[in-house]
Amino acid sequence: MTSNQSLLNELKYFVNGVPNLHRGLPPDVSAQLVKCSLTMLEELSTCREVILEYFAMVFDESVKNYERDPQGPPPDDEIIVTIQESLENLVTKGPSAWAPLISSWSLRILGTLSNKYSRGRVMDIGKACTLWLGSNAMRCLLGLAALCFGKLYSKDTDDCIATLLNTFVQNSPHFDWVVARLGGCFPLKVISKILQCGLRGFVGNANSTLDSEVGILGYLSFAYESDLKFALNEMLQAVLITNFASIQPQISTIPYLLHLSNMSDILLQLIINVFLDLCKLQIKECCDTAQENSSFNKISVNDSLIPSLIDQSQLWPQNFKPQNIIPLLTSLSLKLRNDATKTIITLAKIAENHAWCQDLLESILQELESFVWENRSCPLLTDLTKDDSTETLWDSCLSSNLFQQQTAVRLLLLASPQAPYIFHQTVAKLLEKSYVINNNGLGALIRILSSHVEIPEPLQVKPGIEMALERLILGSNRKRNDYAATGLNILKNLVSLIQIEKLNTSPHLNRSLVTTTVTDCIPKILMIQSLLLKRNLNAIRHPITDDDRNCYDADNIRSKKTQCKLDNSATDDVNQVQLEKEQIHLTANILDLLEIGASEGGMGMVDVIKLAQQTVSYFFWSLYENNPLQRSTAVNRVYSMLARQCIIRKSSRTLALRELLEGAFYSYGDLFGAHSDNINSDTKKEMVSLMKLNQNHCSTRSILHAGIIGNGLQPPMQAAEELKPEMQQFFLGAIAACCKSDVSFGVGLRSNLFISRLQDIPTTIDGFSTVSLLLVEMVSTDVMYNGLPWPDEDFSKVTMERDLQIRRTFTNAPILWGLLGLVATYRPAICFTSVLLRALCASVLNQWRAKTIDKYQVTANNVELYDVTKKLLEVMSMGQLLPPPLSYLHTVIEYLDASEISIVLKECIWNYMKENVPSPVLYGVDSTGLHWRDSVAAKPYPHFVDPLRNIMQRKLPQLGTFYHQMFVLSELSENAPKKN
Amino acid sequence: MDYPHRAHDALLRIENQIASKKQDHVLDLISEFIFYEKKSDSRKYGNNKMQQSCGLSLIQEFQLVVVLCEFYERPGEEMIRNAVFLSLFEGSNPSRLKVLTKLVGTAIASSVGPILSAAGTWIQQLGPTNIFCMELTQRLIEDFIVFSNKGPEQLRTLPSISPRFSINFLACCTELYLKDTVTHQLLPPPPPALLEVFTNWVQDYPTLCIDAQPQLVLPQGAISMPIVNPLPGLMRWCVLSPISQSAIDGSAYSKLQLAILKCLMQEAKQIGDLPLVPPINSIALGAVIFTLKFKASEIAKVGDPDTDQSMQLSLERLAQCIQIAIQSRSLLDNVPQLVCRLKKLPKNHLLDIVIKSQNL
């Protein structure tokens, strides 16, 4: 019994000490008191209540001291620490009954103390936390409460939360921080309870601010967002989906949440997210109905959700009637941080059926507009610039729902001033889409392009279009079908836009915006075209030139490809080639539509050159086209483009002509029947090293016309393949187009009239002179002896080799004859090809002469020789280089034999030409601008004509009619005027 | 004068008055000066804020407890003390009960024998089923079992300090647990710690339950109430624990059962002289049989009570108890009637033997 006397003594000490507490006790006494009370707590749990009461006083004292000077040095609260330790010990190691007791006790004390020492100040949760967590006592209590919460069994949890909330209700708002901190122990439960609590408060007084609830939820949402979302979700689901609520607290859930959203941006965001998620679950596809009330109701939802909302809205408080909350919703939507775009787009989706939604939409957009004009920002505007938002908007631009589309367009335009790149990206993106099926998108594009004036700072369309084109360039480097498809879309869209502008039908596109912009982007387009041309040409040339030229169509290519490659990508390749073809045509179309090069200024020299080159290569490329319709379209397009450029710029003309000729002879010779054997032998040569060559003691003289010394005879020359007449026609047409002049039409040619009457435009002699000069440059291998005068015939021995070379070139490239013929018709120009004619004449003459020596060879195999001779004479007479009667020589040549021909060529042609230098001076201009040689002045001396006359006389039975025509008629006509 | 001193003063006066049999003002004194139950009057005697409110503050309660402890530790006549105690807590109201709980708790923890004896007397006078006794018991269990680690240890030696309080406390406790209620819903089983304490009591103090307690020392004119033996209650715990859903630890009950049986056997040794009061009341056992029967009918709805394991265990324990009780002649009243009721229970081998042995 005595042993337990000590306990009684402790009790006595305690009982006597505590009542003096308020008078202030010396530290040692209070320490002793605490020690004593702790012993008792362990030994005599009967007195736990009174001890806890005493502890409460101790804590109160500590907090009072702290509150007097929170910034001061931390008081020496050893007592607190001791108490905390032993209480924690009790909770963790003692019987489980302690946890609920201590938790509710600490909550109560926390409530009382916070309330008491806040002294009416209202702090937000963060501040309160900082203040109170500085106090040892508060921290200790909070720690104890949290510890107990952790120890609780599920049964007690609810009680504890109830205590927490009761204390919260009693001590609001000073207890908020505790709820916020402790809410973390049971985030979900606390959050849902707080939400319910708020709802009840809201129902009681719809205008109550719910500061505490909002503060706590906001605080908790930082760490327990998912729980808050879950709680909100449950709340919404309970009201909207699972069961239709018709009783008071539930019916106000939506207005309540709206109210909450209004109070806190964080909550607004969460509520929106939850709602969107909730609706996502319910979405079928697109929805038909909508509720016109909350900003988060804008998502498309299925039938069950919307009607229940509509029904509920009838029962909502007066100030939440749908028509009364537009301003609220507008301001709410402006505050949305995430998913704002999605929300508004959803609203637009359903606006079709709900006039109210349209009002709201309009209100939001107008508000936004004012923001933009005043150069202010708001979260919604920021959200618009996010990547996924803009993606959504772009998608919406293509929507068939007009509200959605227009909203998206307006939003994009509103987002643009603060982030111009969005505008540019939008332009680029919309250009990439295809509008074949749904051309609403094109409308959106036009709207965006044209409405750059609707916003404060004008936006440049150019970067957008440039961006699209750059993507096209990048894409064209990659062999991917989708890239090609996008590229095709871009070009198609540009073409249609330009066409619309041209037609001047659209009220939006009347400022020739696109035309100007695309004109500025010409370098890019040219680049694209050249890239595509280069690759496509390779793609289509090789399978075709290697094999049968006639099996040109896609099916054959495909079968061949699959045979040789055994690759799945073969089909893709074919598609790719087709897509590229279309793209090339489209680029050309753009260039043509824009009438690039039609004006003097605006283009740099580089572009001018590029344009000319591109046009020519497009021309050649299009000749590979096997669809006659497309080909002729393309060719005509080239004609007009060439003509347009060449009329304005001489440089373009020169360049284009050079390109054309080079192409015809070298790069694209195969189109015109030329062989490319030389290339093969060249490649062989490349193998030999320079050292070897030197060791061979080979000088230039070792390379002879008949072959190279050491390599044996050159293989006999292959006859050129037949030149397709339409090819020649196309080519000559292109040359002619280059030589158009604008003498009679003046400068203002850029009209549709111009294109349709291309044939009527006169050509210029200058152009053809250029052609002649170029021909000489390309065909004649020698830089010397290229003058116009014909030297003595003996001199041809010096130029023999070159002459043969020229002759060979003509054989290889039959198009040359066509060219000569063309040039010959534009009279003085032929003079410049004198050297070629001379070389041909010399080679033919020598050949005929050779035949006269070997009598047996005379008639054998002369067809080609006759042919060449005849062509030569034709050209010369066409160019009026030969006066009558020599000009008729080509008609009779086939009746003469080798010796006779050689005499005629020597005596009549060569000698005449030697005497009469072929020079433009000989030609006079008549009133129509055509050049004619003065026939009187050019009349040949008899010694040029007589050999022919003699030969013909000898063969008079055969050549009677010709003789009559050549000699008799002309003399008659000469004599006739004399008689007169 | 401060509160505790005044209370002390009052207490001495009350003692004197009771001793001198002038009890006219005792109750008023108690109410006014000890428990501060009269608000209007309290103002006259002090201006301390604590005293202005009606009733005692927590700390005052403990001050009173200390005063009472000191009072009872003084040597004094037991009769008067019991009388004072009964007067103090006679017309128990909730606030006084709170003080009582604290007083008894403190007495148990610090082994103040006189208070415990007085408290035992108080319980016996009111009867263990009295609502205030139940309340007190519940509070004590809370204090010593639920909230305390050292409580069971402190309770363990209680019978040696105050057998009267122990046996009355035990009787009260048996009423709180594993008892059939009006709705045929068994009360929950006792906390394991409490069960262990009682098992130890029966083991360590085998005579506690069967020895006759000394006659209550009460003032003249008071009718002393008979003691209620806790053994039937403990038997009920053992028998009903298997069929109660929430009782899990069977071995603890087996121990208790063994202790009870041993205790009864001990009684059988003193076969010569009949105990003054036969400890086992067959009415109490009849209640157990009734509960078992009801439970059997419940089991019959879903299964066979004849083979139900827990039911069989219960029946076996019952049979053991009855057998030993009959043998030790500690079973009161109508044994044949009891056996007759046993027949209506589900079949059990041991029970059959017991029934047959009685029929013979």
Which two structure tokens, joined as six digits, stand for A859? 């008639």
Tens digits of per-residue pLDDT, B102-131? 888 888 888 888 888 888 888 888 888 888
Q: Select the more confidently predicted residue: A702 or A385.
A: A385
CB contact under 8 A, A11 and B4: no
Distance, in Å, from the CA atom of B128 to the CA atom of B168, rounded to the nearest integer, reads 7
Q: CB-CB: which of B50, B59, B150 is closest to A50?
A: B59
Rounded CA gap, A233 and A286, in Å?
22
Tell me which residue range forms the domain holding B313. 229-360
How many beta-carbon contacts under 8 Å exist across A and B? 80
Angstrom CA distances, A463 to A108, A420, A468, A484, stand at: 66, 9, 9, 21
Q: How far apart are CA A408 and CA A341, in angstroms?
A: 9
Q: Mutating which of A45, A57, A93 best tests the B interface, going by the most B Cβ atoms within 10 A?
A: A45
pLDDT tens-place string over residues A812-831: 888 888 888 888 888 788 88
Cβ A796 vs Cβ A846: under 8 Å: yes
B19 touching A (Cβ < 8 Å): no
How far does CA A682 lie from the centroid of its chain?
43
Can you give B12-69 as a three-state secondary structure string?
A: HHHHHHHHCCCCCCHHHHHHHHHCCCCHHHHHHHCCCHHHHCCCCCHHHHHHHHHHHH
Nearest Cβ partner for A46 among B59, B66, B143: B143
Question: Closest to B111 (Cβ–Cβ): which among A1, A47, A50?
Answer: A1
Chain A positions touching B138 (Cβ under 8 A) are none
Q: Judge whether B343 lies within some domain.
A: yes
Q: Return the sign of the alpha-carbon dihedral for residues A749, A750, A756, A761.
A: positive
pLDDT digits 0-9 by tens, A557-610: 444 444 444 445 556 667 777 777 888 888 888 887 777 766 666 677 888 888
Q: What is the average per-residue pLDDT within A326-334?
A: 74
Provide the CB-side half-sphere exposure for A440 (13 A, CA).
16
Determine whether the interchain pair B147/A15 forms a contact, defined as Cβ–Cβ distance below 8 Å: no
Residue of B nearest to A52 (CA): B58
Considering CB atoms only, which of A3, A45, A54 is closest to B148? A45
Check A15 against B106: CB less than 8 A apart. no
Q: Are the C-beta atoms of A641 and A560 separated by less than 8 Å?
A: no
Rg of chain B taking only CA atoms, in angstroms: 23
Please tell me the predicted confidence (pLDDT) of residue A242: 54
Residue B147 has its nearest CB partner, among A18, A19, A45, at: A45
Q: Does the structure show a pLDDT above 60 at B245?
A: yes
Residue A1: closest CA among chain B residues belongs to which residue? B111
pLDDT at A751: 41
Q: Is residue B327 part of a domain?
A: yes
Among the partner-chain residues A12, A43, A49, the one whose CB lies closest to the CB of B66 is: A12
Strand, helix or coil at B179? coil
- CA–CA separation, A29 and A876 (whole Å): 138
Residue A88, token pair as written in the block: 């924690």
Give me the pLDDT at residue A243, please.
54
Between the alpha carbon of residue A654 and those of residues A735, A771, B100, B147, the distances in Å are 11, 8, 124, 110
Judge whether A24 and A17 are in contact, CB under 8 Å.
Answer: no
Residues 6+ apart with CB under 8 A from A414: A365, A368, A369, A372, A381, A384, A455
- Residue A19: pLDDT above 50? yes
**CA of A100: which chain B residue's CA is closest?**
B147
Q: Does residue B305 form part of some domain? A: yes
* Residue B62 Cα, gap to closest chain A Cα (Å): 7
Confidence of residue A744 (pLDDT cuts 50, 70, 90): very low
Asked which of A280-294, A667-681, A686-700 is least confident by mean pLDDT, the reply is A280-294
pLDDT in the model for residue A725 = 82
Interface residue of B99, B148, B156, B194 to substitute, partner A, most A CBs within 10 Å: B148
- Burial (CB count within 10 angstroms: exposed 0-12, middle 13-18, buried 19+), residue B135: middle
Residue A755 in tokens: 């294109």
pLDDT computed for residue A551 by the predictor: 40
- Gap between the Cα atoms of A129 and A123, Å rounded: 9
Enumerate the residues of chain A whose CB falls inside 8 A of the CB of residue B142: 97
A11/B111 CB distance under 8 A: no
Which tens digit of pLDDT belongs to each residue from A767-800?
888 888 888 888 887 777 778 888 888 888 888 8
Q: Does B101 touch chain A (CB under 8 A)?
A: yes
Mean pLDDT of A12-17: 82
- For residue B22, is it within any domain? no
CA–CA distance, A664 with A660 (Å, rounded to integer)? 6
Check if the beta carbon of residue B180 is closer than 8 Å to that of residue B290.
yes
**Residue B184 C-alpha, separation from nearest chain A C-alpha, in angstroms:** 24
Domain count, chain B: 1
Contact A46/B161, CB-based, under 8 Å? no
Closest CA to A271 of A245, A248, A240: A240
Residue with tokens 């020690």: A35
Residue B356 binned pLDDT confidence (cut-offs 50, 70, 90): confident
Instruction: Flag whether residue B109 sits within 8 Å of chain A, measured between CB atoms.
Output: yes
Residues of A with CB under 8 A from a CB of B: 1, 3-5, 7-8, 11-12, 14-15, 18-19, 42-50, 53-54, 93-95, 97-98, 101
Q: Per-residue pLDDT tens for B126-138?
A: 888 888 888 888 8
Between chains, do A43 and B161 touch, taking CB under 8 Å as contact? no
Among A11, A22, A46, A87, pick the best mutation site for testing chain B contact (most B Cβ within 10 A).
A46
Q: Do A11 and B105 touch (CB under 8 A)?
A: no
Q: What is the pTM of this model?
A: 0.57
Placement of tokens 């002759």 in the chain: A807
What values do phi and psi take at A638, rounded to 5? -60, -40
Inside any domain, residue B250: yes
Q: Which distant-in-sequence residues (6+ apart) come within 8 Å of A625 by Cβ?
A: A581, A631, A634
* C-alpha R_g of chain A: 49
CA A818 – CA A343 distance, rounded (Å): 70
Nearest by CB: A42 against B65, B101, B150: B150
Question: Which residue in chain A has the smallest CA separation from B64?
Answer: A15
For residue A89, the distance in angstroms to the closest alpha carbon of chain B comes to 12
- The percent of residues above 70 in pLDDT, for chain A, comes to 75
Q: What are phi and psi of A881, to 5 degrees?
A: -75, -30
Higher pLDDT, A477 or B133: B133
The full DSSP string for B103-129 is HHHHHHHTT-HHHHHHHHHHHHHH-TT
Would you state the pLDDT for residue A271?
77
Residues of A with CB below 8 A from B112's CB?
1, 8
3-state helix, strand, coil in chain B (%, to 5): 65, 0, 35
Whether B336 is in a domain gets the answer yes
Q: Which of A3, A11, A97 sits opposite B66 (nearest CB)?
A: A11
- Cβ separation of A15 and B146 shorter than 8 Å? no
Question: Could you tell me if B150 lies within 8 Å of chain A, comparing CB atoms?
Answer: yes
Taking the CA atoms of A15, A17, A23 and A27 in sequence, report the sign of the dihedral they define: negative
Span between the terminal Cα atoms of chain A, in Å: 177
DSSP state letter for A479: -
Q: How far apart, in whole angstroms, are the C-alpha atoms of residue A738 and residue A763?
A: 9
Q: What angle do CA B154, B160, B165 make, to 5 degrees?
A: 80
For tokens 């937000």, name the residue: A124
Residue A723, both tokens: 């030149």
Encode pLDDT of A402-439 as tens digits.
777 777 777 777 777 777 777 777 777 777 777 766 67
Assign A280 a pLDDT band (cuts: 50, 70, 90).
low
Q: What are the counts of helices (DSSP H) followed by strands (DSSP E) for chain B?
A: 19, 0
Provide mean pLDDT across the span A49-63: 83
Q: H or E segment at A396?
A: helix A387-397
- Does the beta-carbon distance from B110 to A8 stay under 8 Å? yes
Is B323 part of any domain? yes
CA distances (Å), A334 to each of A212, A337, A603, A789, B95, in order? Answer: 24, 8, 47, 87, 62
Type of residue at B270? Q
B58 touches chain A (CB under 8 A): yes
**Beta bridge mates, B280:** B331
ipTM: 0.83
A923 DSSP β-pair partners: A933
**How far is Cα B12 from Cα B2, in angstroms, rounded to an integer?**
16
CA separation for the pair B151, B140 (Å, rounded)? 10
A499-532: per-residue pLDDT in tens? 887 777 766 666 667 777 777 777 888 888 888 8
Q: Is B48 exposed, middle or buried (0-12, 13-18, 19+ CB in 10 A)?
A: exposed
Which long-range CB contacts under 8 A does B131-136 form with residues at least 24 apart? B132/B92, B132/B97, B133/B168, B133/B172, B134/B172, B134/B175, B134/B176, B135/B97, B135/B101, B136/B97, B136/B100, B136/B101, B136/B104, B136/B172
Contact across the interface for A47 and B102, Cβ inside 8 Å:
yes
Q: Are strands A712-713 and A703-704 parallel, antiparallel or unpaired?
A: unpaired
Residue contact B106–A44, C-beta within 8 A? yes
d(CA A216, CA A899): 119
Residue among B58, B101, B110 minimizing CB distance to A4: B110
Task: Give the nearest chain A residue to B48 (CA atoms).
Answer: A19
B149 and A94: CB-CB below 8 Å? yes
Instruction: Give the rounded distance of the alpha carbon of A83 from its chain centre.
Output: 71
Average pLDDT of chain B to the nearest whole number: 78
- Cβ–Cβ gap A98/B61 under 8 Å: no
Please name the member of A15, A54, A97 whose beta carbon is closest to the beta carbon of B147.
A97
pLDDT, tens digit (0-9, with 9 covering 90-100), for B67-82: 888 888 888 787 888 8
The CA angle A100-A106-A110, to the nearest 5 degrees, is: 145
Q: From B107, which residue of chain A is nearest by alpha-carbon distance?
A: A8
How far apart, in whole angstroms, are the C-alpha atoms of residue B303 and residue B296? 10
Give the model's confidence band at B49: pLDDT under 50 very low, under 70 low, under 90 confident, else very high: very low
- Sign of the Cα torsion A543, A547, A548, A549 reads positive
Cα–Cα distance measured from residue A385 to residue A419, given in angstroms and rounded to the nearest whole number: 7
Residue B248 in contact with partner chain A when CB distance is under 8 A? no
Starting from the edge strand earliest in sequence, which strands make up the sheet with A703-704, in order?
A703-704, A707-708, A712-713
Report helix, strand or coil for A713. strand
Residue closest to A416 by CA, chosen among A457, A365, A388: A457
Whether B40 shows a pLDDT value over 80: the answer reads no
Look at B110 and A5 and tell me if their CB atoms are within 8 Å. Answer: yes
Residue B177 within any structural domain of the chain: no
pLDDT of A451 reads 64
